[in-house]
Structure 1
Amino acid sequence: MSEQPETRTAASAVVSYLLVVVAVATAAAGVVAGLSSPPMSWITCLVFLLSVGVTAVYQMPIGRVTGLPPFGVAGALLVVGTTGPNPVLEVGLWSIAYFISRVVTTRALWMAAQWTGVAAIGGIGFVALSRLLIGLGWWAPLALVLSVLAYMLIVLGLEFLRERGRWSIEHTFGLSALSPWRLLGVLAMCSGVAIAVYVSSTGLLGVVDGSADELRLARETIPLLVVALLFYGAAKRRQTRDSERRLSGVVDAARALPWDVQQDPKETMVEFARRAIDAAEFDVRRRPPGRNEIGARFSPINATDPQLTPESMAPDDEVTEEHQEDAVEPTEYLVASRKNGGAPFTPDDELALDAIGHIASETARVRGAYDTLLDRVDRDSLTGLPNYNAFQRSLSRLNEDRSYASGIAVLFIDLDQFKRLNDTEGHHIGDEVLSTVATRLRASVRPHDFVARVGGDEFVVVLTKLQSLAEAKAVADHIVANIGAPAMLGGREYRPLVSVGLAYSGHQETDPQSIVVDADHSMLAIKKSRRQGGPSFESSIGISPHRSSRINEIVAKAIDDGTLNVVYQPIVNTLEDKIWAFESLVRYTHPELGRISTSSLIEKAKGLGRMDLLTKQVIEASLKAAREFRKIVPGISVMTINLEVEQIRDEHVGAFLKDIVPRYPDVSLCLELNERSTKDIDDDLRAQAEHFRQLGMLIALDDYGSEASSVGALVRIPMDILKIDRSLVDNLDDTRQREVVRALQGFGDAFDYSTVVEGIETQDAVDVLVGIGVRHAQGFFYGRPVPFAQTMSRLKAYGPAGTVTRATPVTGSGIRVG
C-alpha cells in the first residue's frame, strides 16, 4: 500500500526538525568546546570561517538532469578538524560558516539550517574517520580520500532518504539521474583540496623562515586562503555564466517577437524559460508557486489562433461574466520548480522568469488585439461568415495544402429573386433571409469545408478532401436541399431559391481563381436558363463542363506525346540499410494548370482508353533507367511498376512485356498488381502470371491491407513480393498493428515471399519494424519519389545507402515516358 500524503508530510517535517536540531547542536558544541579549551588564534578562526563560507558558495551538479542536490568543495576544509587539536571546535566552526554561507546565498533560513544539519553529520563522519585512520598509521592521503568518500556517501544518502529515493530521470524511485562521472569529479576535487590543505598545514612542504608562531599561523591560514580565493573565483565565474544564460534567454524571447502564431504562446513561453533558467520542471497553471518554486504571472488575454478557418470565423460565442473577468485579470502562472534537495532559485532567476512572463503576456495581448482587428476586417458583419478577402486567402491555402489525391470544388451560390424580395418585403426581411441561408450553409458543410459571403446575395463554398466530381455533386445536392427548406420570416413562409455553379479540380491549380471563374460561369448559365424558360421554382446546380473536358484533352495529349514524367522511389533492405529496388511512378505538371494528381491522371487515362499506352511508356522508361542505375550501383537490379491484373493479358500489355523484358537481361522487372484488381482473376491470368515469372519477372501484390483487403487475395495469384499498405503501419504504437504486420511477415517467410512495408516516414517506425522481423521497407524516410536525374545524383553521392544525410528535393525534370 502506498504511503498517504499526510503521513509523508508529517515524516518530512520530523526529518526537517531533526536536521535543524543537529545543525544547532553541532554549532553549540563547537562554541562550548572553544570556551572550555585553549582557544585557537583569532586570526586562524577568522580565516577558517571566511574560507568555509566563501568555498561553500561553489556548488557542482551531480545529476544528468536538474533537480538533484549540488555538491560543494567546502567539505574538504574539514581536514582542519583532522589536523587540529580540538576537532569538536573545528567541526562546530565549520558548521557555523556553512550555515551563514547558505543563508546569504539562498535567503532561506529554514532550508539553510536543514542543509547544515545534513552537512554536519557528514562532517562528523569525515573528521572521525580521518583521525582514526591516520592514528592507526594509514597513509594520510589514502585516509583523506576514504574520509571524503564517507562524507559524500553520508550526505548523498541523507538527501536520497529525504527525497524518498526519487532520483531517477522519471522522478521515480531509482538512481538513473545520478551522473557517475560527475560524482567521480567531485570526489577527485574534494580529495585533492583535502590532501593539499593537509600537506601544507602539517609542514610536509618544507620550512619557511620566521618564528615558530609565524610559521604555525602561515601553515594554518595560507592554504585556507588559497582554497577560498580559488573557489570564490570559480563560483563567480559560474554566476557569470548563469547570468549570461538568464540574459540570453530573455533576449532570445524578445528577439523572437512576434512569436510564431502557429505555436501555443504557453509552449513558446516555457521554451524560452527553459533556456534562461535551470529548473527541473516548468508548468503553466492557475495555482501560484509553492515551496522550491518561483513563478511569474501570465495573462493569456485573447490568445487565440489567428489562422482563418470556418470555425474561427463563426459568430461570437456568448461571453460569460467569468470569462470577462479572466480576460481582465491574469489567472495563470509560469512556474519553475526544483526538488527539495536541489540548489535554490536566486533572485536573478525570479527576475528572468518574470521578464519572460511579462513578454508572453504582452505578446498574447497584442496577438489578441490583432486577431480581433483581423476578425473584424475579414468577417461579414451581418452573417458572421468570412468575406471576400478571407475567401481569397483561404482558397489559395486550401489549393496549396492538398495532397496529390485530394480534389476540391467551388460552389458559387446566388439567391434568386432577392432584389424583388428586398423591394417588396423590406431590407429587414432580406437581412433575415441572408442570415438564415448563412446559418444553413454553415450547418450543411463538413468540418473541413469553407463557407463565405462574397457579395450582397452571393455565397461561396469550398469543398475539400474530395475523391471525385460525383462526390462533390452529392455534397452540393445536400447543401442545396438544406438551403431550400421552408422558413418563417415576418410571419410568412419563405423558401429560398438558389442557382449554384459547381467547378471541380482534381489537381493543384497554378491559378486557383480559375476554379471560381468556372463556377461563376456555370452559375450564370443556370440564371440565364431561368430567364429563357428554364425551371423557375426550384434550385439548380450547374456543373462546369469546361474544366473536365480541358483536363481530358491535356491528359490525352500528354500521353500521346510522351511528355509525362517517371519518378523513382527506393525500396530498402532495413537490416543492411541498402537500396535494392526502385518503384516507378508517373507524374505530370501542366505549364498552366499545375500538378495533376496521380489518381486523376490514371482515372483520365482509363476513361480515354490510353491506360495501356501509358503503362508501356512507364515500363520502357523504367528499364532504361534501371540500366543506368546499375552502372553506378550494380546491386540495384529490380524495378517495380504498377498495373492492374487485367493488363497482363496479351491484348493489353502482356505481349509488350514478353517482347521488351528479354532485351534487359540484367534487370528484374516486378509487376505490382493492385490488390483490389485481383478479385476477379481467372485461370488464364494465373497462367500468364506464372509464365512471366518463368521469363524472370517478379509478381508483387500491392496495397495489401488497404480498404477491405481479404485473406483470399494472398492466394489468388502467384507472387514473389507482398507489399503491405501504409494504412497498416500508420500507428505502430498500437499492438494490434504490430501483430498484424508480424503475422504477414511470418506468412511471407513461410512461403518465401519478400515482404515490403510501405509508408515508412521515421526512424522510430524502422526500429519497430526491424524488431518484429521486417527486412524491407519503402517510404519518405528513405526518399521521396524523384526524377531520373536526381536519382542518379543520389546514387553517385551516396551509393546504395538507404538513409542519406540530407533531404532529396522533389522538384526537377525527369525522364519522359515517350
Structure 2
Amino acid sequence: MGVRLQSRTGRGGTSQLVMSILLMAIAVATVAVGVVSGLQNPPPSWLGCVVFLISVGVTAVYQLPISRVVGLPPLGVASAFLVIGTAGDDPALDIALWVMAYFASKWITSRSLWMAVQWAGIAAVGAVAFVLLSRSLVEAGVWPLVAVVVGVVAYMCVVLFVDFVRERGRWSIDNAFGISGLSPLRLVGVMALCSLVAVAVYVTTTGTLRLVDGAEAELRLARETVPLLVVALFFYGAAKRRQTRLSEQRLSGVVDAARALPWDAESDTKALMVDFARRAIDAGEFEVRRTPPGRNEIGARFSSLDSTDPQLAAEAVSGEGDGVTREHQQDAVEPTEYLVASRKNGGTPFTPDDELALDAIGHIASETARVRGAYDTLLDRVDRDSLTGLPNYNAFQRSLARLNEDRTYASGIAVLFIDLDQFKRLNDTEGHHIGDEVLATVATRLRASVRPHDFVARVGGDEFVIILTKLQSLAEAKSVADNIVANVGAPATLGGREYRPLVSVGLAYSGHQETDPQSIVVDADHSMLAIKKSRRQGGPSFESSIGISPHRSSRINEIVAKAIDDGVLNVVYQPIVNTVEDKIWAFESLVRYTHPELGRISTSSLIEKAKGLGRMDLLTTQVIAASLKSAREFRKIVPSISVVTINLEVEQIRDEHVGGFLKDIVPRYPDITLCLELNERSTKDIDDDLRAQAEHFRSLGVLIALDDYGSEASSVGALVRIPMDILKIDRSLVDNLDEMRQREVVRALQGFGDAFDYSTVVEGVETRDAVDILIGIGVRHAQGFFYGRPVPFAQTMTRLKANGAAGTVGRNAANSAPASAPAVR
C-alpha cells in the first residue's frame, strides 16, 4: 500500500460504536451467568478452576495470522481449552472462566480495557457456539473427538463472522469490501492446529475437572490439570519466541533506516520513512497525516521542512525572531505531522516495542528533513553572524589575508580588537535579551563608524574586530579608532533603561605587507588584554580605552624612551582611606602618559616597553622622586597624611637597581613615610639578600606592602616570603561581596593581618554598599573609586584644600556611573 496523506478523525461511526457496546454487553452477560451458575452449583475443586484460568490466559498470548496482509484478526489455540465445557457438568461456568481468562490476557497484552472487553465479547459468542454445538453432537451419539473438531471449526467461523460484520466487510487487500485479504491456507492450518490441541486436551483430561471426589481426588486432579499446564507453557514459549523474532525485525528496520543515512536528497523523505517503518513493524496500514493516532493505532510525531518559507527557516536556524520563542518558531516553521501505523480492531495489539521502533524511525526522518532543510540556509549564512548580521570569524580571517596581500606599497592597515567590558555581568543581572540588544547596538554603531573600505566582524561572544585599510600612519589609525570608540560609547536606551557601552580596544598597526597577517591580530588582542588588565590595576574603569601594540611600531619605542628620558611622565594619586574614621591617611602613586598625537598609552604597555628598553629603573626613580615631593606638599595642607606608596618589583630594591637611590633619597624626607608596594608575583623567587634588603629599608622607616594579593594564583607562602607591614587585597576578591564565601575570605585575611600586626587594605572598592559590608567584617582600610580616582597633583591639592582628609567627598566615584547611564556590565 502506498503512503496516504490525509487528515481524519477516526474510523467507523455510530454503527461500529453500537456493535462494540453490544459485544461488551455479551462479554459481561456471559461472565455473569457463569458466575451465578458456579455459585449455585460449586465445582468440586476451585483449584482446578484456577489452573484452568491460568492455562487459558497464558495460551491466549499465542496468536496465529490468517491473512495475506497484516490487519485481519489472528486466531489462537486457547479455544482448544473449551473442550472442558464440552464434557463438564456446568458449561456456563466453564465458558465464563474461559472468557474471563481470555479477557485478562488481552487486557494485559493490549493495555486497552476498551478493546479487551470487545475481544472478550467476540470470544464469548464463539465459546458459546463451540460448547453448545460440541455437547449437542456428543449427546446425539457422535464420536466425542469429531464433536470437538466441529466445535473448534464452529468457534473460528463465528469469531471471524462477527469481526467481519464489525469491520463492515473490509477484508480486502485494498481495504475495500471483500475477503481477498484472507488466506485460506493459513486459516485451514490454524483450524487444524487448534483441533489437534483440543483433541489432545480432551483425551488427556478424559472428561471434566468437576468429577474430582473421594480419596483419589488429588491424584486425579493432578492427572487432569498437568496436561493443561504443559500445553499452556508450550505455546507461551512459542509466543515468546515469536516476540523475539519481531524484536529482531524491529531492530533491523531501525538499523536499516540509520545505515541508509544520509537519505537520498532526491527521494521523498515521507515515502522512505514509511518504507523503513514497514520493515520494522507489522501493521495493516501506514499513513503520514496531520492528526495524531487513534484507537488501534500508534504514531510517531515528526516535523517536516518540505514546504518551509526560507526566511522562517533561516530564523529557526539562527534563533532570531520578533519576540517569538524558539518552540513557537519551530511549530511555525516545521509543521507537525504523524507517521501512523494501524491495525483492524480484531488484530494483534501493538506493543510498546512497536511504538519505540516507529518513534525511532520518525525521529530519524525528522532530523533528516530538518538538517536537509537547514543545509541550504546554512550555506548562505556560513560567513555571517546570526545576531548582528556582521561577518563572522571565518569571513574575517579570509578578509584579513586578502587585504594584507592586496594593499599597495606603503599602504598601512590596522586591526582593532574590541572587547565589550563587563558583558557577562550584564547578562547575569539584566538578562540575555538585554545582552543581545547591546551586541546588536554595538554592531550597528561599528558599521556606521567605519569608512567604506574598512571591514567589521564579530569574532566571539562580546568581541569584535575591525580592519582599517588605506592608512598612511599609526596616528591616522589612532584617529579613526578614537572616532569609532566615541560613537560606540554613546548612551543607548535598551529595555527601558539607558546604557553606555564600555569597550577595551587593542590597536595593532602594520605599515607593510605581513608574512603572517595573523600576527597583527595577536598583537591587537594582547593590547586589548593589557587595557583590561590596567583596569584591574587602577586604570580608567568607566571609560573606553585604546591600547596601541608596542610590538608593531618602532615609533612606540621612541615615544616611550623619549618620555622617560625627558622625565615627562605623569604621576597620579589615589587616596587610601581609614574606613572607620573616613579619613585619608595615604596616597598611592601611579604612572600615566598621554602622547600629543596617539593619546594615552596604556600603563601596561608603558611598563612593558620600559622594561624592554632597559629604562624601568629610571622610570621608577622618577615616580619615587615626584611622589615624595608631592607628599610633602600634601602634608603641608593636611599634616595627618604622611604616607605615599609606589609600585615596584622586588628585584628592584637591590642596590644596583633602585635600592641605592632609595637609601639616598629617603633620609631627605624625614617627615614623609614611603611605602614600597611589591607585586606578589615578583616575590616568588625572593632570596636571603632581598629579605635582608627589605629589613634594612624598614629600619630606615620605609614600609613594605604586598600588593595585589588574591589576583591570579596567589598562595599563602607569599605572606611569609618577605617582611611586610601592609597587605593589599586585590579587587578580584571583593567584586561580589554579596557572596558569603567572598566575605569570609576577606574576613579571614583581615584576621590574619590583625594576628601578625599587618595593616590590611582592600582595593577596588567602588560602592557605598561595599564599604558597609567591609566595615561589618572588620576591614579598616580601603582604596577604590568610591573614595576617589587616580588624579594628577593639582587636582589632588584642590581636593585636600576643599575637603581636608575626608575620605568620602559628596557624590564621588561611587556614583561615577550614574543610575541613568550605567556602564555596560
Same fold (TM over 0.5): no
TM-score (norm: length of structure 2):
0.41
Q: Greater Rg, structure 1 or structure 2?
A: 2
TM-score (norm: length of structure 1):
0.42
Q: Which has the higher contact order (CA 8 A, sep 6+)?
A: 2
